[in-house]
Amino acid sequence: MAFIESIKLVVAKPHPAGKPFIYGGIAVAVAGGIAFGTWLFWLGAAFTAFCLYFFRDPERVVPTRPGVIVAPADGRVVMVGPAVPPEELGLGPNPRWRVAIFLSVADVHVNRSPVEGVVTRVAYRPGKFLNASLDKASIDNERNALAMRLPDGKDIAVVQIAGLIARRILCHVKEGDRLERGERFGIIRFGSRTDLYLPEGVRPLVAEHQLMIGGESVIAEMAQQETHQPVLHTDTGF
């Protein structure tokens, strides 16, 4: 059964953003097979196979328990700690728990909503293309940030960050859109990072180096929310 599930993951239907690359690879393979020799055919075939794998968009089983906050992306947790959300989101200067997820080229790159809520802000900012696993990538790199309002009035933020290889961030939602927990909202082409800023007073349940499955892995629960804003101390891990 595990083997069958692994096969389903590899051959999952590709995200629409990958179709131009897939069709381009097929065209190169066909042209190579007809007129330019086998080397071009195999080059096109290899590129097509890579794009089919990279842009795969498997279905996910989203937790239904009330108050659950799920991972917005596949990948490995590289940072868990206090940070101020991007200023362009207008969420204030207070630090809150941030969970940073690094996506390698082998991970699924489709981004999913961590909660049920309404998009209150979408803000794109151009920038550099540093290694996305670095802490300064959250400040210096190209990014697209979303703020969402939960049904209880709390705010949460998700930031798509371009990486060393990534050169395009795609986001197909706009302000005022309502998203369900686990619903797709965008994709980042090639290596990248996704940062999640939890609502104030909510603590994460994950640790660095853990592997996340977008739309499935539970990062936090709203039931853990404190009745007051905790004081964050960066020198003690608060």
Considering the candidates 113, 133, 138, 192, report the single residue annotated as catalytic: 192
For 91-128, letters b (16+ CB in 10 Å) and e give beeebbbbbbbbbbeebbbbbbbbbbbebbbbbeeeee
Reply yes or no on whether 6 is catalytic.
no
Q: Torsion angle of alpha carbons 38, 39, 43, 45, nearest 10°?
A: 20
Catalytic residues: 192
